[in-house]
Amino acid sequence: METILVKITPEDSGSAYKDAAQLLKENQVVGIPTETVYGLGGNAFSEEAVKRIFEAKGRPQDNPLIVHISEFDEIYELVSQVPDTARLLAEKFWPGPLTMILPKSDKVPLCVTGGLGTVAVRCPSHPVANRLIKETGLPIAAPSANLSGKPSPTRASHVYSDMNGRIPMVIDGGDCAEGVESTVITLATPVPKLLRPGNITISQLRQALGQVDVDDAVLNPLKSGERVSSPGMKYKHYSPDADIVVLCGEYKAFCDYVNQRKSDDTYAMVFDGEGDGLAVPCITYGTSGNYKELSHALFDSLRLLDEKGARVCFVRCPDRSNDDNLAVLNRLLRAASFKVVEL
Ligand code: TXA
Ligand code: MG
């Protein structure tokens, strides 16, 4: 299959949107920009489209998809019961990088939810995504547009490199503003629970709702046989080809540890302003203490390691005592398969 890459801006005339919407209505899969990461979009009501998404991504069938809508009222078609908490969160954070898990309606096929009775819903703020959903007139199921297991794509070129030959169209809507996937919260439990941290932080959620629990799997590896709240937690994630090791401690100790282990194709990933005293090539991923900068650069930096042919990369650990860093920590720990060294 030939994959076309089409640049679309929010102001474009309708025809570019019409072509993409036409493909979606025909149950084809289209790479679409969102403010978090690029998604692999398809008609959420079509089993055929959903099957194509799973095939293109190489994703296990029990890992459910997020369904994207263009405004709050479209939720009623997808969800059997809309609690006040969902309305409240939508008022504060939609359109934007927040996904809510709610009991699904009969219209949502089980293949979208991986057989679960709940569905994940999100209203993206990216103007291209929003307009495309409106133009298509359908809810759009979309996982991140990477091949399963690879870092999520934050640029159209990432999607093209993973999906070339697998889907008919990738829309280039520019680089993603957030760079990390949406926060996922379930409202289908007695107490709302954070399942995947993102740039809507746990403190923002608690400010809105009061008590919000954090799922154990956010920062811990699964114990064998443990039941997961979110199937995505089971799988190896966000991994570049390089072996990632997260080092926690002071910069001086980081340099000593890395320099003692220097060999060919060893890299370091450090904060902006660091690098002095390191005997290996390094890439930076933002200002320490600025979670938005770190999450914006993380996936891009992981992909850059592969482009450079890195075999091992030691990464500076963000401050674990600051809950705003949960999203970056969660992704880093998974990229490292939980290989963490306390210095
Ligand atoms: O920012 C995002 O959320 C991006 C963009 C494209 O919107 N999408 C995204 O989708 O990250 P994906 O499929 O890569 O991640 C969805 C996560 C998975 O970990 C999945 O297991 C979880 O959400 N999920 C989806 N439906 C669920 C459900 N009903 N119950 C629990 N977890 C669910
Ligand atoms: Mg993903």
Residues whose CB falls within 8 Å of the CB of residue 307, separated by 6 or more in sequence, listed in order: none
What's the pLDDT tens digit per position in 87-117?
999 999 999 999 999 999 999 999 999 999 9
CA of 332 to the centre of ligand 2 (A): 14
The tokens for 72 are 């709050």
Residue 64 alpha carbon to ligand 2 centre in Å? 10
- CATH 3.30.420.40 for domain 4-218, yes or no, is no
CB 103: neighbour CB atoms within 10 A? 16
Tracing tokens 């941290």 back to the chain, one arrives at: 197
Picking from 125, 326, 89, the residue whose alpha carbon sits closest to that of residue 205 is 89
Tens digit of pLDDT for each residue in 269-304? Answer: 999 999 999 999 999 999 999 999 999 999 999 999
Query: Which of helix, strand or coil describes residue 276?
Result: coil
Residue 42 contacts by C-beta under 8 Å, 6 or more apart in sequence?
Answer: 24, 27, 28, 29, 30, 49, 50, 52, 53, 140, 141, 142
User: Structural domain boundaries of the chain?
Assistant: 4-218, 243-342
Of 99, 116, 119, 121, the one to substitute when testing ligand 1's pocket (max ligand atoms within 8 A of C-beta) is 99
No. of helices (H) and no. of strands (E), the chain: 9, 16
For residue 142, give the ligand nearest its CA.
Answer: 1
User: What DSSP string describes 181-244?
Assistant: PPEEEE-SSSS-EEEE--SS-HHHHHHHHS--EE-GGGTSPPPTTPPPSSGGGGS--S--SSEE
Q: Which residues of the chain have pLDDT under 70?
A: 233-237
Q: Cα(263)–Cα(12) distance, rounded to whole angstroms? A: 50
Are residues 74 and 102 in contact, defined by beta-carbon separation less than 8 angstroms? no
Structure confidence at residue 238 (pLDDT): 73
Residues 181/198, Cβ–Cβ less than 8 Å:
yes
Burial environment of residue 321 by CB neighbours within 10 A (0 to 12, 13 to 18, 19 or more): exposed
Q: What is the pLDDT of residue 235?
A: 62
CA-CA distance, 156 to 201, in Å (whole number)?
A: 26
Q: Assign domain 243-342 one CATH number from 3.40.50.300, 3.40.50.11030, 1.10.760.10, 3.40.50.150.
A: 3.40.50.11030
Ligand 1 environment, Cβ below 6 A: 34, 36-37, 39, 63-66, 97, 99, 101, 113, 116, 118-120, 122, 142-144, 181-182, 184, 195-196, 230-232
